[in-house]
Structure 1
Amino acid sequence: MPDSPGKKVLVLGGYGLIGEAVVGRLVRDGHQVTGLGRDVSDAKRRWPAVGWIAADMAQLLAAEDWLPMVAGMDAVVNAAGALQDGPRDRLDAIHRDSVVALVSACEQAGVGRLVQISAIGADPASTNVFFSTKAQGDKAVASSSLEWTILRPGLVIAPAAYGGTALLRALAAFPGFIPAVMARQPIQTVAVTDVAETVSRAVAGSLPPRTTVDLVEADARSLGDVLIAFRAWLGLPQARVVPMPSMLGLLAGAIADGLGLLGWRSPLRSAALAALARGVTGNAKSWSEISDHKLQPLEATLAAMPAHVQERWFARLWLLKPAVFGILSLFWLVSGIVGFIRQGAAADILVSHGLSPALALGAVIAGSLADIIVGAAIIVRSLARLALLGMLAITLAYLGTATVLAPDLWLDPLGAMVKAVPALCLALVALAILDER
Structure 2
Amino acid sequence: MIVGASGFLGRAFAEAFAHRGADLLCTARDAGKARAEAGWPQTHTHWISADLAEVPPASFWMEHLRPGDIVVNAAGILRERRAGDFEAIHHLGPAQLFDACVQAGAALVIQVSALGATPAAPGGYHRSKGAADRHLRQCRVASAIVQPSLVWGDEGASAGLFATLAVMPMLLLPGGGHQWLQPVHLHDVVAGVLALAEARPVGSRTIAFVGPEPVSLRTYLADLRRQLGYAHQAWVLPLPERLFRLGATLAGRWKGSFLDPETAGMLLQGNAAPAADLQAWLGRAPRSHRAFVPAHGVQALRRAAWLQWMLPLLRWSVALVWIWTFVVSIGLYPRGQSLALLARVGASGLWAELLLDGAALFDLALGIGTIALPAAWRSRVLWPLQLALIAFYTAAITWAMPEFWLHPFGPLSKNLPMCAAIALLWAMEPSTRRGTHAPPEPP
> TM-score, with normalisation over the residues of structure 1?
0.79
CA deviations 1:113-157 (Å, max 9, x no partner) are 432211111122222222112222323433434433211012222
Q: Letter of the aligned partner of 1:222 in structure 2?
A: S
Match of 2:423 in 1: 428
* Structure 1 residue 118 corresponds to structure 2 residue 110: no
Residues of 2 paired with 1:99 and 1:207: CA distance? 20
Within 5 A, what are the aligned runs for 1:284-299? 284-287=275-278, 291=281, 293-298=283-288
1:31 Cα deviation from its structure 2 partner: 1.4
Within 5 A, what are the aligned runs for 1:144-163? 144-163=139-158
* Structure 1 residue 142 corresponds to structure 2 residue 137: yes
CA deviations 1:220-266 (Å, max 9, x no partner) are 22223322321222222142x6442232x654554454343232222
The range that moved more, 309-318 or 369-378, is 369-378
1:106 Cα deviation from its structure 2 partner: 4.5
Match of 1:5 in 2: none
For the 8 Å contact 1:103–1:144, the answer to whether it is kept is yes
Match of 1:308 in 2: 298
Residues of 1 paired with 2:120 and 2:217: CA distance? 26
The range that moved more, 384-393 or 357-366, is 357-366
1:36 Cα deviation from its structure 2 partner: 4.1
Percent identity, aligned pairs only, is 20
CA deviations 1:313-364 (Å, max 9, x no partner) are 1222223234223323333343445555579666775565335766655655
Match of 2:260 in 1: 269
* Structure 1 residue 244 corresponds to structure 2 residue 234: no
1:19 Cα deviation from its structure 2 partner: 2.7
CA deviations 1:135-180 (Å, max 9, x no partner) are 22323433434433211012222233423x22322232233x6664
For the 8 Å contact 2:137–2:204, the answer to whether it is kept is yes
Match of 2:39 in 1: 47
CA deviations 1:280-304 (Å, max 9, x no partner) are 212334445x636234141574276
Pick closer, same or farther for the CA change 1:261–1:30 going to 2, 3 Å.
same
* Structure 1 residue 408 corresponds to structure 2 residue 400: yes
For the 8 Å contact 1:122–1:131, the answer to whether it is kept is yes
1:429 Cα deviation from its structure 2 partner: 2.8
2:215 to 218, 221, 225: 221
Residues of 2 paired with 1:395 and 1:304: CA distance? 40
1:57 to 46, 51, 74: 51
1:41 Cα deviation from its structure 2 partner: 4.7
Pick closer, same or farther for the CA change 1:75–1:87 going to 2, 3 Å.
same
Pick closer, same or farther for the CA change 1:333–1:13 going to 2, 3 Å.
farther
The range that moved more, 34-43 or 415-424, is 34-43
For the 8 Å contact 1:190–1:215, the answer to whether it is kept is yes
Residues of 1 paired with 2:142 and 2:171: CA distance? 45
Pick closer, same or farther for the CA change 1:292–1:26 going to 2, 3 Å.
closer
Match of 1:4 in 2: none
Pick closer, same or farther for the CA change 1:425–1:10 going to 2, 3 Å.
same
- Cα RMSD (Å): 3.9
Residues of 1 paired with 2:276 and 2:215: CA distance? 17
* Structure 1 residue 280 corresponds to structure 2 residue 274: no
Within 5 A, what are the aligned runs for 1:171-186? 171-175=165-169, 180-181=173-174, 182-186=176-180
Residues of 1 paired with 2:28 and 2:22: CA distance? 19
Match of 2:191 in 1: 197
For the 8 Å contact 1:189–1:297, the answer to whether it is kept is no
For the 8 Å contact 2:369–2:382, the answer to whether it is kept is no
Match of 1:386 in 2: 377
* Structure 1 residue 328 corresponds to structure 2 residue 318: yes
Q: Letter of the aligned partner of 1:427 in structure 2?
A: I
The range that moved more, 194-203 or 339-348, is 339-348
For the 8 Å contact 1:75–1:111, the answer to whether it is kept is yes
Residues of 1 paired with 2:28 and 2:89: CA distance? 12
Q: Letter of the aligned partner of 2:265 in structure 1?
A: A
Structure 2: runs of 5 or more not aligned: 435-443
Tell me: higher relative CO, structure 1 or 2? Use CA pairs within 8 A at least 6 residues apart.
Answer: 1
* Structure 1 residue 207 corresponds to structure 2 residue 201: yes
**Greater C-alpha Rg:** 2
The range that moved more, 395-404 or 18-27, is 395-404
Pick closer, same or farther for the CA change 1:292–1:54 going to 2, 3 Å.
closer
* Structure 1 residue 10 corresponds to structure 2 residue 10: no
For the 8 Å contact 2:180–2:214, the answer to whether it is kept is yes
Residues of 1 paired with 2:358 and 2:49: CA distance? 41
Structure 1: runs of 5 or more not aligned: 1-8
1:210 Cα deviation from its structure 2 partner: 2.2
SS at match of 1:291: helix
For the 8 Å contact 1:77–1:115, the answer to whether it is kept is yes
Residues of 1 paired with 2:92 and 2:349: CA distance? 62
Residues of 2 paired with 1:98 and 1:179: CA distance? 38
1:405 Cα deviation from its structure 2 partner: 4.5
Pick closer, same or farther for the CA change 1:48–1:218 going to 2, 3 Å.
closer
